[in-house]
Amino acid sequence: MREVRVYDGDFPTPEQMLAAGPSAPFPKEVWLQQIRPGEFAVRYRDFKTGVARNPEGKLVQSSEICRIFPNLEEARADSLKVVNEHWVVVCFIYDHTGAKVQTVSNTRKLSKYGAAVYAQILFVIAFCTLAGMISIWLLYKISLLFLPPSPSAHQPASGWLYWASYAGAGLLLAGLGIYLRFRFVIDRHVSRIRTKLNSAISPNDRKRFQELNYLSRDPAQRERFLSLANEYQEKIREALKK
């Protein structure tokens, strides 16, 4: 077995992409050219996001590597070892033409994770539905204190349609409450960040940083662009630390 890099270089940094724009150099995949006929390569991905990982289970990007094996049996055996030690990793086995031969994953752990996620989702839905139904019942009882009594107000309702409608209304009410709470928290957080940024960047600095919108990305102005962009990002980081 041997390990080779998937890409021939590093991905550009955000600053380099800002400065170079569409012409920013991106690395090329070179792993396939290093596989000889009869050999098999294994690449490693996160089971949930598909982001590259290494055989040790760590997230990687431009430093992504793949392992090349002389036969399919060794590739499969090593892949099983990797997924047993790091269940979040899914191994993809390729032949020398780049065709995917097999996918190896820790199905037992992934099944347990999926079952736990679905159970949590069902629990949250049930809890929100129950909370909404209780809220509707309390609103109904409170309304009876102020509204004139009606003959049907105290008649018990039953039937699956009634309870289904009641549960649906409770879930909608709980969803509305969660949405309004979420909007309130986000708006308050955004307002706080905006206040911090306005206090950290003076009007003179703001005028100076507007130059970022007009600087071209030719080599003569690239250094000035990067310097100004780094200074702007540093001020933002300092403001958000407060």
* Tens digit of each residue's pLDDT (9 = 90 or more) over 21-69: 566 678 888 999 999 999 999 999 999 999 999 999 999 877 899 999 9
Q: Are residues 165 and 87 in the same domain?
A: no
Q: Which of 50, 85, 105 is the last residue of a domain?
A: 105
What is the rounded distance in angstroms from the CA atom of residue 233 to the CA atom of residue 16?
14
Q: What's the pTM value of the predicted model, to 2 decimals?
A: 0.70
Q: Are residues 80 and 19 in the same domain?
A: yes
Percent residues over pLDDT 90 in the chain: 52
Q: Are residues 121 and 170 in the same domain?
A: yes
**149 CB-side CA count, 13 A:** 3
Q: Are residues 155 and 62 in the same domain?
A: no
Q: Are residues 98 and 185 in the same domain?
A: no
Give the residue numbers spanning the domain of 209: 203-241
Least confident range from 15-19, 23-27, 53-57, 238-242: namely 15-19
Q: Which of 52, 77, 105 is the last residue of a domain?
A: 105
Q: Which of 85, 105, 125 is the last residue of a domain?
A: 105
Q: Are residues 125 and 175 in the same domain?
A: yes
